[in-house]
Amino acid sequence: MSPMASVPFKGRKQSGVTDKLKAEPAGCMKWSSTHVLRPGLRLPPQGGRSESAVCLTHRVHQGKKMTLNRTAAFLALLALAAVATPGAADAAATVCAPKNRAAVVNTVQAAFDAMKAGDIAKTRTHLSPDFYIFDLGKRFDADGILNLIQQNEKSGVAYNWKVTEPKVHLLCDAAWITYVNRGSVTHAGITQPVTWLESGVLHYRKDHWMIEFMHSTRVPPPAG
């Protein structure tokens, strides 16, 4: 039990209550200080309205003012937080790509052509810095997949890749594509047709598309 509970009401300093009552009409001050611990008491009507009704009207009016002030302060804080958030400026500065689905398809094909030609520098211009691919049951970053292709080519393997049946979906500065990669693998003078089911996610950066992610699944050769 709080020690304040044993102090008589009249001798106790009421933090916040006294200040609130000072702002009320004189009648309310008298009624509050006399009957605040005796709920249910009603004073005789004065001028057609009871003193308690006058006090109630005043308190409701004051409560509405306080609520409006708090709401305005809260909204001001929200607005300030939105302006101060770093992501807000970035979102406003986002530039959507032209609605050109062919540009997405061409980016993927250009990356394949550069890899086929052994031009690693040109290949990287089509890949984002954090590019990665799921292939052969593994995760490769750009260095990993390009090194693997180079090693196979040095051993006499030649690849050919062709994007067919593309389906492109655009969303401002992002795109995802699904397609059938119909190509071939040549080794020791023997060319074998190969088909892969592939998908990719691209990001529009500095006025051109860059590949962020790819997934490749090789289609098993026909039986027999």
Q: Are residues 118 and 201 in the same domain?
A: yes
Domain that holds residue 35: 14-91
User: Residue 179 is inside which H or E element, if any?
Assistant: strand 174-187
Q: Which CATH number covers residue 189?
A: 3.10.450.50
Using alpha carbons only, what angle is made at residue 198 by residues 197 and 199, rounded to the nearest 5 degrees?
145
Q: Are residues 50 and 124 in the same domain?
A: no
Q: Is residue 170 within 8 Å of 97, Cβ to Cβ?
A: yes
* Per-residue model confidence (pLDDT) at position 180: 98
* Per-residue model confidence (pLDDT) at position 67: 53
Q: Are residues 187 and 209 in the same domain?
A: yes
Q: Are residues 137 and 214 in the same domain?
A: yes
* Per-residue model confidence (pLDDT) at position 20: 45
Q: Are residues 32 and 58 in the same domain?
A: yes
Q: Is residue 173 within 8 Å of 100, Cβ to Cβ?
A: no
State yes or no: pLDDT of 30 exceeds 50: no
Q: Residue 184 has which token pair?
A: 């071939």
CA distance 48 to 199: 81
Read off the pLDDT of residues 170-189 as tens digits, 9 standing for 90 and up. Answer: 999 999 999 999 999 999 99
Q: What is the mean pLDDT of the chain?
A: 76
State yes or no: pLDDT of 139 exceeds 90: yes
State yes or no: pLDDT of 33 exceeds 70: no
* Per-residue model confidence (pLDDT) at position 94: 82
**Burial group, residue 94, by CB count within 10 angstroms (0-12, 13-18, 19+):** exposed
> Could you count the other beta carbons within 10 Å of the beta carbon of residue 62?
13
Question: Which of 64, 91, 118 marks a domain boundary?
Answer: 91
Q: Residue 174 has which token pair?
A: 């992002």
How far does CA 90 lie from the centroid of its chain? 12
> What DSSP line would sit under 80-109, residue for residue?
HHHHH-HHHHHHHT--PPPS-HHHHHHHHH
Residue that wins the pLDDT comparison between 58 and 166: 166
**Residues in contact with 177: Cβ distance below 8 Å, sequence separation at least 6, in sequence order:** 104, 105, 108, 166, 167, 168, 169, 199, 200, 202
State yes or no: pLDDT of 99 exceeds 50: yes
Read off the pLDDT of residues 66-97 as tens digits, 9 standing for 90 and up. Answer: 555 666 666 666 555 554 455 544 555 788 99
Task: Provide the pLDDT confidence category of residue 6 given band limits of 50, 70 and 90.
Answer: very low
Read off the pLDDT of residues 102-132 as tens digits, 9 standing for 90 and up. Answer: 999 999 999 999 999 999 999 999 999 999 9
Q: Are residues 111 and 204 in the same domain?
A: yes
* Per-residue model confidence (pLDDT) at position 16: 47
